[in-house]
Amino acid sequence: MRKLLLLLTCFPTMLLGQLSGPTADSVTNGEGAAGLIWLGSPSNANLAIADVEVNDTIVFGIKLTNWLSDTHDITYAHIDVEYNKNAYTYLETTYFAPSDDNPQNSQFEMTGYKMSWNNNYEHYDIWNQWQNGSYAQNADWNNLHPQTQTTGGDLAELDYYVSLSFKVKDAGENHDYTDNIMITMGRIVANLTNGTSKVYNPVYAYEKQDFSYEPLEDIDVQGIIAKLNMGNNVNMTNFKLIPVKKDANGDWVNLISGNNYYLNVPSDGQVDLTSYITSTSEDYGVLWNYGEPGDPNGTNDFKTLYEDILTISDVQLALKELATHGSGAINAGISKFNADVAGGTNGASDDILDDSDTYKLLAHVMGVSELYTDVDGDGDVDDADANNSGVYFFRSTDGNTYTTTTAESFEANGITHQGAVVEVDVDFNNVSSGQTFELYGTWKGDVNLSHSPSVNNGIVNDATSISFAPSFSGRSTVNMFTGVGGAQIDLVEGTLIVEEQGDNVVATISIPESDLSAAQIRLNFDDTRLTFDSVQADSGNTTTNFAKLTENRVNFGSINTMGEAMSDTTYTVTFSKKTEINGVTGLVVLTSTDASDMDAVRVQLNIN
Amino acid sequence: MSYNFQKWYYTILFTLFLACAPDEYDFTVTQWVADELKIDETTGLQFDDNSVYDGAKFNIKTETEGTYTVEILDLARQLVSRNTLKVIEGDNVYTIYTRVLQTGDYTFRFLDDSGKEKQSVKLFVK
């Protein structure tokens, strides 16, 4: 994965079109100039050069510059432009001198000739090339000679005195597109009031003299969409999409060069890739990445999300199903896939749901041990640990099935938060309708699919043994602060109060007696002003309590694995003041809750 | 005057001075309140800015001593935090800490000892 990321980061692949010319310092002694300016296409003046395809029509203007404008008006211009006829077909010329100035426009085209430069002069010194250069026979090149003569006004005051349009052609695989449209020679004159004239010398091809661009293929497909489906509790805008394509070695490389090689993802998870599909012969794909690639806070952001994904109700559901069906008896289904988190090497799964899985799920929630696997043993879990399926958390399928076989092959995304490449196999014959390349994402440990797409949403989840894993009822999800999404059938109301007590700040959370078998609460606290001390709970003798501190987040709760309901429970979370404080408003906030009833069904735990 | 006489003289004089002093002084302790937090009425709530930032101040002005409860509700009016504050008669300036609040609009509800809402204001937390 690291090699892939390196390649993706360092391999610019886009060939961009360009207009070029001499620098300003090179033309400081000039009296006049003529330069190419990009006018897009007849139907779209804003067409970017980089988007030009074969069979497009493109338009250039010739802009004159009059450095003698204080004393002279340009009334005559004759600028030669050559073009490679294998790459372009000349279409037409339009002149823009106003009729009040009585313009006399004329043009001729020399076919089968190419500029023969006089190298005693700079190529951009087009008045001296006019006098000393020549044209030589060359069947691949033509040149145009647009000329305007007026009786008044200054042609340099026009945005461009003439425009030339060309149809873009495919010149073949080995064609050199460099300077395929170019200003070669030029003559500029100002008529003087005494009946004489001033011939400009020197005249430069400035600012842009030439145009080099390899056009894109003529691709008329529309609406090429990459889409990620994930539960409503996941904020899709936190994802980034990396368009990729295969290089000559068959390796996936970034489609977009530079540091910003990824695209933002809107809330509906759909990203339009149409403008990036530029060749029928390339292999395209996308990578879904949770967070901004390379973001140093990415791992922490991901872990914060993961605290919402794998919660106590996931554990309770896995425990219940294991108790109901017995070790190893459960097969298929995304829930089982997500619950199977142990048994393999380096934290990988083994395709069997048994005690080792439920223990590991519970241990993660309780803070005994993490699901994150420190593969390289360096004491932390980071990108370097990602080359092992055991640390992969973001799992995806092709949208057809969540079977373990499919999942195994697509299993990816660990602490790097990045999915496997999803190939974008465009049907280039389909030019009438859009094409969407969907991915369904789920998470290791998300047994109740609170942060995964509903299985009734076009995904086969046959032989699901975990009875209430999917949100079959289709109930809508609820706000993140209440902590639950997917299927919920009950509601329990608790309370929270934060108080200052001497040197301490104490948060007290009370949950009334109900049929809850598990509850989990997460508080975030201002760790610049408080230090976490402890959590105390009085949830009954047969209930196991837990508390886990990660950064400035305290996850705590209770689980009863004896089939009994929790009693009226009060959690007392104690913090010490690190500094003087003036009140406690905002120092401790509730960020999520989760609960499960005695049937292992997720319950909405509201804290009021 | 001898030293002995002076000693007794000043001791008696000081004792008489203390005996004649009033039993108690009325010290009026008033909290300094920045202009932007001042409230003209006898009761009210005033924040020091239109937005709430970490370390922002607010002033609760009351006529009675007691304990107020402050609730912070998110856009969906779900409880994010609830805490108590001791208040005395007059101005009570407190700080809001926002480092662990996500940027967004929040409703700050102020309830008195009996749980009755005294003030409620929706503000943007930076």
Q: How confident is the model at residue A368 (pLDDT cuts 50, 70, 90)?
A: confident
The share of chain A scoring above pLDDT 90, in percent, equals: 45
Q: Tell me how crowded residue A15 is: count the other CB atoms within 10 A of its CB.
A: 15
Cα(A550)–Cα(A308) distance, rounded to whole angstroms?
A: 13
Q: Quick check: A496 and B98 CB within 8 A? A: no
Tokens 């004089």, located at residue:
B13
* pLDDT at site A371: 74
Q: Is residue B113 a part of any domain in this protein?
A: yes
Domains detected in chain A: 18-212 (2.60.40.680), 224-466 (no CATH), 491-607 (2.60.40.680)
* pLDDT at site A551: 86
The Cβ-side half-sphere exposure at A205, using a 13 Å CA radius, reads 29
Ramachandran bin of A195, using left for φ above 0, alpha for ψ from -120 to 50, beta for the remaining angles = left
* pLDDT at site A325: 66
Q: Which of A104, A549, A535 is nearest to A368 (CA)?
A: A549
Greater pLDDT, A451 or A25: A25
User: Which residues on B lie below 8 Å from A552 (Cβ)?
Assistant: 100
H or E stretch at A572? strand A569-577
Query: Which of A525, A581, A589 minimises the CB distance to B80?
Result: A589
The share of chain A scoring above pLDDT 70, in percent, equals: 79
Query: Which of B72, B76, B99 minimises the CB distance to A526?
Result: B99
Q: Which residue of B has its CA nearest to A496?
A: B82
Q: Is residue B7 a part of any domain in this protein?
A: no
Q: What separation in angstroms does the CA of B76 have from each of A38, A142, A481, B64, B79? A: 51, 69, 9, 32, 9
Helix (H, G, I), strand (E, B) or coil at A481: helix
User: Which residues on A lie below 8 Å from B101 (Cβ)?
Assistant: 586, 589
Q: Which residue of B has its CA nearest to A586?
A: B97
* pLDDT at site A326: 66
Quote the number of domains for chain B: 1
A577 bridge partner residues: A530
Radius of gyration of chain A (CA): 35
* Mean pLDDT, residues A454-478: 37
Longest dimension (CA), chain B: 85
Burial class of residue B112 (count of CB atoms within 10 Å of its CB; 0-12, 13-18, 19+): middle
Cα(A210)–Cα(A34) distance, rounded to whole angstroms?
A: 11
Greater pLDDT, A297 or A119: A119
Let me know: does B121 contact B108? Beta carbons within 8 Å: yes
User: Which residues on B lie below 8 Å from A529 (Cβ)?
Assistant: 97
Q: Is residue B87 a part of any domain in this protein?
A: yes
Q: Does the beta carbon of B123 lie under 8 angstroms from any beta carbon of chain A? A: no
pLDDT digits (tens, 9 = 90+) for A221-235: 889 999 988 777 888
Question: Residue A118: is its pLDDT beyond 50?
Answer: yes
Cα(A307)–Cα(A301) distance, rounded to whole angstroms?
A: 10
Q: Does the beta carbon of A242 lie under 8 angstroms from any beta carbon of chain B? A: no
Is the preceding peptide bond at A202 cis, omega within 30 degrees of 0? yes
Query: Which of A479, A590, A606 minimises the CB distance to B81?
Result: A590
Cα(A450)–Cα(A312) distance, rounded to whole angstroms?
A: 12
pLDDT digits (tens, 9 = 90+) for A499-528: 999 999 999 999 998 888 999 999 999 999
Q: Does the beta carbon of A484 lie under 8 angstroms from any beta carbon of chain B? A: no
User: Which residues on A lie below 8 Å from B82 (Cβ)?
Assistant: 495-498
Greater pLDDT, A325 or A190: A190
Cα(A490)–Cα(A604) distance, rounded to whole angstroms?
A: 6
Query: Which of B72, B84, B101 minimises the CB distance to A499?
Result: B84
Query: Which of B72, B76, B85 minimises the CB distance to A583?
Result: B85
Question: Residue A366: is its pLDDT beyond 80?
Answer: yes
For position B56, which CATH number holds?
2.60.40.1930
Q: Is residue B41 a part of any domain in this protein?
A: yes
Q: Is residue B62 a part of any domain in this protein?
A: yes
Query: Which of B76, B84, B101 minimises the CB distance to A586?
Result: B101
Q: Quick check: A583 and B96 CB within 8 A? A: yes
Burial class of residue A330 (count of CB atoms within 10 Å of its CB; 0-12, 13-18, 19+): buried
Question: Residue A329: is its pLDDT beyond 70?
Answer: no
Q: Tell me how crowded residue B7 is: count the other CB atoms within 10 A of its CB.
A: 11
Question: Residue A579: is its pLDDT beyond 60?
Answer: yes
Cα(A159)–Cα(A490) distance, rounded to whole angstroms?
A: 71
Could you say which residues from 9 to 68 on chain B have a Cβ atom under 8 Å away from some Cβ of chain A? none
pLDDT digits (tens, 9 = 90+) for A534-562: 999 987 778 889 998 988 999 999 998 88
Classify the C-alpha dihedral A228-A231-A237-A238 as positive or negative: negative
Q: Is residue B4 a part of any domain in this protein?
A: no
Cα(A75)–Cα(A103) distance, rounded to whole angstroms?
A: 9
Of the listed ranges A121-135, A172-186, A530-544, B18-32, the least confidently predicted one is B18-32
Q: What separation in angstroms does the CA of A446 have from each of A230, A340, A361, A546, A599? A: 12, 10, 10, 19, 18
Q: Which residue of B has its CA nearest to A588?
A: B81
Q: Does the beta carbon of A589 lie under 8 angstroms from any beta carbon of chain B? A: yes
Q: Quick check: B97 and A581 CB within 8 A? A: yes
Let me know: does A362 contact A370? Beta carbons within 8 Å: no
Query: Which of A481, A495, A499 minimises the CB distance to B80?
Result: A481
Q: Which of A44, A116, A52 is nearest to A88 (CA)?
A: A52
Q: Quick check: B82 and A498 CB within 8 A? A: yes
Q: Is residue B25 a part of any domain in this protein?
A: no
Mean pLDDT of chain A: 81
* pLDDT at site A180: 97
Q: Quick check: A526 and B82 CB within 8 A? A: no
Helices (H) and strands (E) in chain A, counts: 7, 32
Amino acid in position A516? L
Q: How confident is the model at residue A471 (pLDDT cuts 50, 70, 90)?
A: very low
Question: Residue A167: is its pLDDT beyond 80?
Answer: yes
CA angle A70-A73-A79, nearest 5°?
Answer: 125
Let me know: does A494 contact A607? Beta carbons within 8 Å: yes
Classify the C-alpha dihedral A300-A303-A307-A309 as positive or negative: positive
Burial class of residue B15 (count of CB atoms within 10 Å of its CB; 0-12, 13-18, 19+): exposed
Q: Quick check: A589 and B101 CB within 8 A? A: yes
* pLDDT at site A421: 76
Let me know: does A169 contact A84? Beta carbons within 8 Å: no
Cα(A458)–Cα(A188) distance, rounded to whole angstroms?
A: 69
pLDDT digits (tens, 9 = 90+) for B67-123: 999 999 987 788 999 999 999 999 999 999 999 998 888 989 999 999 999 988 888
pTM greater than 0.80: no
Let me know: does A90 contact A109? Beta carbons within 8 Å: yes
Cα(B74)–Cα(B71) distance, rounded to whole angstroms?
A: 10
* pLDDT at site B32: 80
* pLDDT at site A322: 77
Q: Which of A328, A357, A333, A329 is nearest to A472 (CA)?
A: A333
Cα(A435)–Cα(A422) distance, rounded to whole angstroms?
A: 14
Per-residue DSSP letter, A420 = P
**A473 CA to chain B: closest CA distance, Å?**
24
**A587 CA to chain B: closest CA distance, Å?**
6
pLDDT digits (tens, 9 = 90+) for A191-224: 887 777 899 999 999 999 999 999 988 888 889 9
Domain residues for B61? 35-125
Q: Does the beta carbon of A459 lie under 8 angstroms from any beta carbon of chain B? A: no
Q: Does the beta carbon of B94 lie under 8 angstroms from any beta carbon of chain A? A: yes
Pick the residue of A510, A577, A585 with the most B CBs within 10 A to test the interface with B by mutation.
Answer: A585
Q: Is residue B79 a part of any domain in this protein?
A: yes
